[in-house]
A = this chain, B = another copy of it.
Amino acid sequence: MTKEFIAEQFKLLQTSIIQQLEAADGGATFITDSWDRAEGGGGITRVIQDGAVLEKGGVNFSAVHGPLAEQVSKMMQVEPGNFFATGVSIVLHPHNPFVPIIHMNVRYFEMSSGEYWFGGGIDLTPHYIQKEQAGVFHQHLKNVCDQHNATFYPSFKEWADRYFFIPHRDETRGVGGIFFDRLNETGTSMSKEAIHAFVMDIGNAFAPVYTRFMKENATIPYTAEHKRWQLLRRGRYVEFNLVHDKGTRFGLETGGRIESILMSLPKLASWEYDVQVEKGSPEEYTLLHLKKGINWLEA
């Protein structure tokens, strides 16, 4: 399985996801911005703004290569050499506070030495946590994982709880999902082809479950107070991405394409001083469930 084939599959995945999102949104199309990287490779950034359901978001593909800077190879703990990296990255911010924010990423990394791995993740950030929605989401991910390896869902779910966490707020970003990195034959006893099939299944699982949430929730009426809460929760999303997200910080520090990296930020976000929530409110319910270790399948 060549890196070119993997990249081509990711590019097709990008197109497929965009078709499904545009059909579900019905109000805007994704613009296309192709870019080249001076040191080698490039990408296709596709962005939606002011859709009917999606206020702002991106579905990005990239395939970049070249010499790996020494400090980066140290950070990544790989031998110096030439690297190749390809992936699809998605963040979507809806208008309606009852439609959750979603993030998905699948990626492949290879060094000229032959070392390689797959990585990825998908996590859901509802402004208002709904038990049933979180259960549907996790069951969907578990079903995909279980078709490939029975250990994947439990370990990758826990990994997501650790990764999508905001230490300075002592809260998770949302209801989690799955996260995995450096997946190859060594760690899994699976062939490269089998791991690739898993990664593609995760990529393909994204649009069906998210467009379901779009359809189910985009018409729920909401008030100015719901909107206010949504903007505050988006503020936390910004905090996570700029302060903690390894992918974002890696991109910023290594001179990645800024507009593509920061497509993850919302059109509008808000901060207020020391926000308090009412006892028994949906806002309090949400805060009480931004915790690691919740089993959403049984919740």
> Known: A168-B252, A169-B258. Contact between A235 and B265, CB under 8 A?
yes
Determine which of B31, B49, B271 lies in contact with A265 in the assembled complex, contact meaning CB atoms within 8 Å.
Answer: B271
Whether A272 pairs with B168 at a CB distance below 8 angstroms is no
Determine which of B58, B238, B239, B252 lies in contact with A273 in the assembled complex, contact meaning CB atoms within 8 Å.
Answer: B58
Whether A252 pairs with B243 at a CB distance below 8 angstroms is yes
B-facing mask of A248-287, CB < 8 A → 1, else 0?
0100100000110011011111111110000000000000
In the assembled complex, A56 has its CB within 8 A of some CB on chain B = yes
Residues of A51-97 at the interface with B, using a CB-CB cut-off of 8 Å, are 56, 58
In the assembled complex, A4 has its CB within 8 A of some CB on chain B = no
In the assembled complex, A33 has its CB within 8 A of some CB on chain B = yes
> Known: A239-B242, A258-B169. Contact between A267 and B265, CB under 8 A?
no
In the assembled complex, A18 has its CB within 8 A of some CB on chain B = no
Determine which of B168, B235, B265, B266 lies in contact with A258 in the assembled complex, contact meaning CB atoms within 8 Å.
Answer: B168
In the assembled complex, A175 has its CB within 8 A of some CB on chain B = no
Whether B269 pairs with A263 at a CB distance below 8 angstroms is no
In the assembled complex, A47 has its CB within 8 A of some CB on chain B = yes
Whether B242 pairs with A272 at a CB distance below 8 angstroms is no
Whether B273 pairs with A259 at a CB distance below 8 angstroms is yes
Specify the chain B residue showing the minimal Cβ separation from A252.
Answer: B168
State the Cβ distance, A170 to closest chain B Cβ, in Å: 9
| Range of interface residues on A (Cβ < 8 Å) | 20 to 34
B contact residues around A199 at 8 Å (CB): none
State the Cβ distance, A251 to closest chain B Cβ, in Å: 9
> Known: A238-B242, A242-B242, A242-B243. Contact between A33 and B268, CB under 8 A?
no
State the Cβ distance, A258 to closest chain B Cβ, in Å: 5
Which among A231, A270, A271, A272 has the highest number of chain B CB atoms within 10 Å?
Answer: A271
* Bound Cα distance A231, B169 (Å): 24
* Bound Cα distance A263, B249 (Å): 23
Whether A49 pairs with B272 at a CB distance below 8 angstroms is yes
Closest 7 CB pairs of A and B: A242-B242, A265-B271, A168-B252, A47-B273, A259-B274, A242-B243, A268-B270
Q: A47-B273, A243-B243, A263-B273 are in contact. List 6 more A-B contacts (CB 8 A).
A: A47-B274, A49-B272, A168-B258, A238-B269, A267-B272, A269-B269
A-B contact pairs, 30 of them (CB 8 A): A33-B274, A47-B274, A49-B273, A56-B271, A56-B272, A58-B273, A167-B252, A168-B252, A168-B258, A169-B258, A231-B268, A235-B265, A238-B238, A238-B242, A238-B269, A242-B242, A243-B243, A243-B249, A243-B252, A259-B273, A262-B271, A265-B271, A266-B271, A267-B270, A267-B271, A267-B272, A268-B268, A268-B269, A269-B269, A269-B271
